[in-house]
Amino acid sequence: MILTTTLKALTAGTMLLLTASHGSIFDSRIFEPEKMPASLNWGDVPEPSEISVTTSDGLILKGYRWKPRCKSHVALVFFHGNSGNRFDAANLAAPLRRDDVDLIVASYRGYGDNPGQPDEEGLYADAEAFVKQAKADRPDKVFLFGYSLGGAVALNATTRVRVNGIATLGTFTDLRSAAPRLARAFIPYEFDNLKIAKSINTPWLLMHGTKDEVVPVKHAQRLADAAGNKAVFVRLQGAPHRILLDQIAQRIWTQLGSMSLSDSEDNVSPSTEIQPADSQWNYLARDPQCDRILS
């Protein structure tokens, strides 16, 4: 997410000059790509295969994939936040692996060793390419998962490609609202999730940590209110912005399976309330190293 300390330190006059001359100072705080590490250590996680997709504007982007072992399977496309690379994203997404899931980890232009420069429309095009790749193998259903900024990317994808369900974690109403007040007028991108929430027809599992220090949980409440009965809002009790998914992965799959569209449905019936088994999930941060020792 945006580094609020840097933006708060800039005066309005300084930001105006920077914006007039070049927008890259803001891009560098919104998008924080990292190069791929020199060596990849997957630890206890089976190494995924590398995949490539071609975007509508001709970029060839790399991501990762854990292929399903079952002939009958669903696909899930995972979209990471504003920082890192596909290796970081894969480590975050890894707990969502299942034998009956084609887990595709998307990444964006300019991230890792991918070509191009990130911007809002570019990330939307990148997402569309990865979702189309997931659908190409004709899975029984297709789901999207978006973390932080990736939630905005995933939500926009639902307006471009039909999918059976979406999950988001730690996303915001819109990018400007998530930034310090002083910086909002100068941010060149919208990432307007609230607008999409008002008309979304895809079943939506909306998760947010109650101790999120980057995006306050009130953002999720506004999104849930806007989506109405199209969304399930789950508060992760005690969870910060970045969490380990291993504790909640099974519950995520259970919830997605219970609320997803069938292939014959075009949208969620307005008369149907989608309810989670439990609207509050406990989250206790754990040390992965300790987990391995104790398991």
Task: Tell me what pLDDT residue 26 has.
Answer: 62
DSSP per position, 54-105? E-TTS-EEEEEEE--SSSS-EEEEEE--SEE-HHHHHHHHGGG--TTEEEEE
Domain CATH for 257: 3.40.50.1820
Q: Does 100 map to a domain? A: yes
Q: Does 44 map to a domain? A: no
pTM of the model: 0.84
State how many domains the chain has. Answer: 1
Q: Does 39 map to a domain? A: no
Q: Does 20 map to a domain? A: yes
Calculate ∠ Cα 137-142-147, nearest 5°.
120
Alpha helices in the chain (DSSP H): 4-9, 12-21, 24-30, 86-93, 120-136, 149-157, 175-178, 181-184, 193-197, 217-227, 249-259, 288-294
User: Residue 232: which domain range?
Assistant: 4-34+49-294
Q: Does 42 map to a domain? A: no
Q: Does 105 map to a domain? A: yes
**Which one is predicted more confidently, 2 or 241?**
241
24-71: pLDDT as tens digits: 556 767 999 999 999 999 999 999 999 999 999 999 999 999 999 998
Q: Does 118 map to a domain? A: yes
